Structure 1
Amino acid sequence: MQKLSLPIPAPEALAASQALQQLIIDDIRQHQGWIPFSRYMELALYAPDLGYYSGGATKLGKDGDFTTAPEMSALFGATLATLAGKLFTQSTAQVMEFGAGTGKLAKDFLTECQLSGIAIERYFIVELSGELRARQEDLLKDFPQVVWLQQMPAAFSGVVLGNEVLDAMPVDLVRKTADGWCEIGVALADDAAAPLQYCERACDAAICTQIPDADELPVGYLTEVHAVANGFMRSLAQMLNAGCAETGKGGAAILIDYGFPAHEYYHPQRSQGSLMCHYRHHAHPDPFYLPGLQDITAHVDFTAMARAALEENLCVLSYTSQAGFLLESGIADILSRTSPEEVKAYLPQANALQKLISPAEMGELFKVLVIGSGVDLPDNLLRHDRSHRL
């Protein structure tokens, strides 16, 4: 693999990465010298105190490794609040956010509720990281509606938010060989400087069931499958169905991420998958580089996510582009509250809006999947619906 030329981490960060690498090495040894890639990704991202999302490094914004929509503009959270206010007429006035990060989305959402008189009872944040929770608590100290949870509850009625959550869930890697599909895991290499390497082994054909026309793909085809995200979607659907049965009111989940429907995700030309790493705003393909200090992601197979919800008797309410979703949810109206004549206030917001909705930026790459029980979306939100493409 080509040597990467990336920013050098601080000594304490490098020491933390080396500690995580040793933990991963020990885990491989405990499992007869091989672990699935999903296990490696789980440890690299979520190992207590050392994983990328559970450690103390800055992840988001100009000082982090990547920037998300809430970090770009308060317009994003305000737009979601505006839509949620309309959905609250069919559900309880509660929100549950997964993957809250710094808490910026929650802050912008709750600020808009205050400004627009949207009554909200509770804003739950499901957060496993003590370090991230501490940051969120500091940012959200003026909002008494916020309650932290360590796990998904059994039942919930309200609006669920998940911005760039599914792409951070561990994936399995598979490759087609002349003898069928094999699973790519992680094993130890005879190189002290680079002790981790990919290692293939035969796999159960069931692991590839979410790949359409798997038999037609060429030998050498490499891709990801999303068992963890599938499980999350099933649990989410069960929670919303239980909430509807318990309260007599509906619930909806709004999931925003980059990805494709299955027929595009597993296109013959997408032969090397979508796995990507992000370190200090540099994108590269090596997941073994400085574990714990870089993000590891894969695009989302939205067909698989929708199917998991449907199989748990939830409804797919909408699947559309981020641009169509935000525009129909009123983001331009929120921007119009600021006069263009107030140049210093207006221009940054207008520029951020352009990034959020432009097809050349986030507008088309990011998709929005809305699933629910006992809830109907406003008619205008269905103008750009692409559910038929799933």
Structure 2
Amino acid sequence: MQLQLPEASIEAQRASRLLHNLIATEIRRQDGWISFARYMELLLYAPDLGYYSGGAEKLGKDGDFTTAPEITPLFGATLAHLATELLDSTPALQPQILEFGAGSGQLAHDILTELTSGAQSARMPQAYYIVELSAELRARQQQKLRDFPQVQWLDRLPEAFSGVVLGNEVLDAMPVELVVRGADGWLQRGVGLTEAATADDDGQFVYMDRPADPSLIAQIPDAESLTVGHLTEVHPVAIGFMRSLAAMLKAGQGGVAIFLDYGFPAAEYYLQQRDQGTLMCHYRHHAHPDPFYLPGLQDVTAHVDFTAMAVAALDNGLDLLGYTSQAAFLLEAGIGQLLLRTPPENALQYLPQANAMQKLVSPAEMGELFKVLVVGIGAELPERFSRHDRSHRL
């Protein structure tokens, strides 16, 4: 398939070739095959060369995609008010926030800016932790958040934490495994190499299948009813993350974790009509399906199986506090009221904010595709969130 995408600079192409060579070397060391999850891990996180660990711009108009915090500060302000409402109403929670994978740092900036303004200043959490795996992104965050001394960076989830955990578009960035239904059972789709055409050629990446471990298929409901050729993703890394999150919150004896991401419950994720999965690549605001294109220069993601995430949380001792659309969640959290702090008569300031909010809540934009999963222990969401709860669909 010939992709018609913007051309990368010579320097970027050189970095991509270095990552290609690194992955090719690992494939050869592993007898010619690595799992897709390992391939995706190297694409995104290989030191200095992976998508999230290299130096290219990722977010906003000059990057490859735009996230909710980049669209409007109303997103962060809304989460700031909800976080303080949860902390104020639940004595068991410590007054602190932990954000996993903070991207450009914009969400943390908007939350902390909101909490230092006016009447909110008395509600500033004692600490705002950021767990960031990318040294390059951490450096950007430190620059953006230099005026907020309560921010502390961590290399991994702490053993114990009590407070509010935030993850915006975190689960979709975790490596997935690909599985495909074969004529004689399920296969795990990994990555191999073609024969090198020249001495300077490391070979091209190609898909290679081998029999799948039954544990990978256990995530798929009614897996044997799907037809031959059905390709989909399963999420062992994200499930493992939810297991670690549960251990952390239980050790902290109280906490609420809020995940905003695009995805479906299992009954929709594994529909026969979705027989080529959800894997998608993003390069300079172009979406396409080829994860072998310019390794390290494009984002590679898959939609989240929210049923699997909720089951992992429940199986490891957390409570399911809520599951709904991003639109319903943000509206119940008060984004509309925050918009009205700018008088509608002031059209010059109001209309851009209203249009940005519309992108977050419109069913035709992010409002329905994005979902919100809330899990925790020793805490509850405010009662008003039950009006649009969809936990029964998980």
> How would you bin the TM-score normalised by the shorter chain?
over 0.9
| Residue 313 in structure 1 maps to residue 317 in structure 2 | yes
1:111 is matched with 113
> Does 2:169 align with 1:164?
yes
Q: Match of 1:236, SS?
A: helix
Q: Paired residue for 1:258, among 257, 262, 270?
A: 262
Q: Secondary structure at the match of 1:55?
A: coil
Q: Give the drift of 1:381.
A: 1.2
Could you tell me which amino acid in structure 1 is paired with residue 140 of structure 2? R
C-alpha distance after superposition, 1:278-336 (max 9, x if no partner): 00000000000001000000000000000000001100100000000000000001000
Question: For structure 1, which segment, 187-196 or 369-378, has the greater mean C-alpha deviation from structure 2 after superposition?
Answer: 187-196
Equivalent-residue separation in structure 2 for 1:193 and 1:290 (angstroms): 14
Aligned to 1:75, the other structure's residue is in SS state helix
- The residue that corresponds to 2:236 in the other structure is 227
Secondary structure class of the residue paired with 2:273:
coil
Matching residue of 1:15:
14
2:367 to 363, 369, 374: 363
Structure 1 residues 24-63: Cα deviation after superposition (integer angstroms, max 9, x where no partner): 0001011000000000000000000000001110000000
Aligned partner of 2:355 in structure 1 is: 351
What letter matches 1:184 in structure 2? R
Q: 1:93 aligns with which of 95, 110, 119?
A: 95
How many residues are aligned here? 384
Matched, 1:186 2:191: yes
CA distance in 2, matches of 1:48, 1:65: 20
After TM superposition, list the pairs within 5 Å mapping 1:63-78 onto structure 2. 63-78=62-77
Distance in 2 (alpha carbons) for counterparts of 1:376 and 1:98: 21
Matched residue type, 1:339: P
Matched residue type, 1:10: S
Q: Distance in 2 between matches of 1:233 and 1:97?
A: 14
**Distance in 1 between residues matched to 2:129 and 2:250, nearest whole Å:** 18
Q: Which amino acid aligns with 1:133?
A: R
In structure 2, how many angstroms separate the alpha carbons of the residues matched to 1:130 and 1:223?
31
Task: Tell me the CA shift for residue 129 of structure 1.
Answer: 1.3
131-140 vs 191-200, which deviates more? 191-200
CA distance in 2, matches of 1:29, 1:305: 34
Letter of the structure 1 residue corresponding to residue 125 of structure 2? I
Q: 2:272 aligns with which of 264, 268, 273?
A: 268
Please tell me whether residue 388 in structure 1 is matched to residue 392 in structure 2. Answer: yes
Aligned to 2:180: 175
Q: Tell me, in whole angstroms, the C-alpha distance in 2 between the residues paired with 1:131 and 1:313.
A: 35
Give the one of 141, 144, 149 matched to 1:139: 144
The alignment partner of 2:208 has SS state of strand
- 1:381, 1:19 → 2: CA distance? 48
Amino acid at match of 2:364: A
Alignment correspondent of 1:243: 252
TM-score by length of 2: 0.96
SS of aligned partner of 1:269? helix
User: Quick one: distance in 2 between partners of 1:254 and 1:242?
Assistant: 18
Distance of 2:272 and 2:347 partners within structure 1: 48
Q: Which residue of 1 aligns with 2:216?
A: 207
Higher mean C-alpha displacement, 127-136 vs 292-301:
127-136
The match for 2:296 is 292
Structure 1 distance, partners of 2:317, 2:265, is 20
- Aligned residue number for residue 379 of structure 1: 383
Gaps of 5+ in 1: 245-249
TM-superposed deviation, 1:119: 2.5
Aligned pairs for 1:113-128 within 5 A: 113-115=115-117, 116-117=120-121, 118-128=123-133
Pick aligned residue for 1:195 from 196, 204, 214: 204
Q: Provide the rounded CA distance (Å) in 2 between the counterparts of 1:285 and 1:79.
A: 33
Task: Tell whether 2:154 aligns with 1:149.
Answer: yes
Aligned partners of 1:29 and 1:348: how far apart in 2? Answer: 53
Aligned partner of 2:36 in structure 1 is 37
| DSSP-derived class of the 1:124 partner | strand
Q: Give the secondary structure class of the aligned counterpart of 1:354.
A: helix
Partner AA of 1:154 in structure 2 = E
Structure 2 counterpart SS, 1:296 = strand
Cα RMSD of the aligned pairs, angstroms, is 0.9
The alpha-carbon deviation at position 193 of structure 1 amounts to 8.6
Please give the secondary structure, in 1, of the residue aligned with 2:388.
Answer: coil
Amino acid in the other structure paired with 1:168 = A
Aligned to 1:47: 46
